[in-house]
């Protein structure tokens, strides 16, 4: 049971995630990615006559089960399989974040930024609401999410996925080094 309570190293978790690509392709030519699930949920639940939601969402209903499994797995991992205490992140990262005013590292997300009480501050609103909107918009604009492009698209040698993944990485570096320090000062 101890193997489930501790984080897995990259050279175990990475190949397991990577093995999802051939497994999904062999089990019915399925594509790995999670962003299309929102479109499927909206197509199933919203009885509007919107062109974007008019398609046979039932033929890819396996993706809904996959997304439900992620949610259930996250719940089980958080409430039954997580080791107590602080998540180990690098000392250099902790030092930089402390310099920027982030002090509460209880759990996966800094509570100084990501909490219900912080949601009603300018900084919390920008990180949670504006950031969430930008992630959703970027996912739709890029034609898929980071997992779909970086895991499935790159492994199947799709040029749009190479471009999208490069843009994701460049955006992450720009955010981390140039924008995040200013947002943390709010």
> How many angstroms separate the CA atoms of 88 and 108, rounded?
9
On the question of pLDDT at 72 being above 90, the answer is yes
- Tell which wins on pLDDT, 149 or 35: 149
Residue-level pLDDT at 104: 75
Buried b (16+ CB within 10 A) or exposed e, 9-39: eeeeeeeeeeebbeebeeeeebebbbbbbeb
* pLDDT digit string, tens, across residues 119-145: 888 888 898 899 989 888 888 888 888
Residue 166: count of CB within 10 angstroms of its CB:
12
Residue-level pLDDT at 10: 86
On the question of pLDDT at 84 being above 80, the answer is no
Residue-level pLDDT at 6: 74
Residue-level pLDDT at 61: 83
* CB-based burial label for 179 (10 Å; 0-12, 13-18, 19+): exposed
On the question of pLDDT at 154 being above 80, the answer is yes
On the question of pLDDT at 106 being above 90, the answer is no
């Amino acid at each position: 049971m101890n193997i489930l309570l501790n984080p897995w190293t990259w050279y175990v978790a990475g190949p397991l995630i990577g093995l999802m690509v051939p497994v999904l392709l062999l089990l019915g030519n399925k594509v790995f990615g999670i962003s299309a699930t929102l479109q499927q949920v909206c197509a199933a639940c919203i009885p509007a006559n919107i062109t974007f939601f008019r398609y046979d969402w039932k033929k890819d209903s396996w993706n809904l089960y996959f997304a439900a499994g992620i949610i259930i797995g996250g719940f089980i991992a958080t409430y039954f399989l997580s080791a107590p205490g602080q998540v180990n992140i690098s000392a250099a990262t902790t030092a930089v974040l402390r310099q920027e005013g982030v002090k509460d590292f209880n759990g996966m997300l800094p509570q100084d930024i990501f909490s219900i009480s912080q949601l009603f501050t300018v900084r919390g609103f920008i990180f949670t609401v504006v950031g969430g909107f930008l992630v959703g918009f970027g996912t739709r604009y890029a034609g898929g999410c980071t997992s779909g492009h970086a895991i499935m698209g790159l492994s199947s040698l799709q040029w749009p996925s190479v471009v999208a993944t490069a843009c994701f990485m460049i955006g992450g570096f720009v955010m981390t080094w140039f924008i995040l320090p200013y947002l943390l000062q709010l």
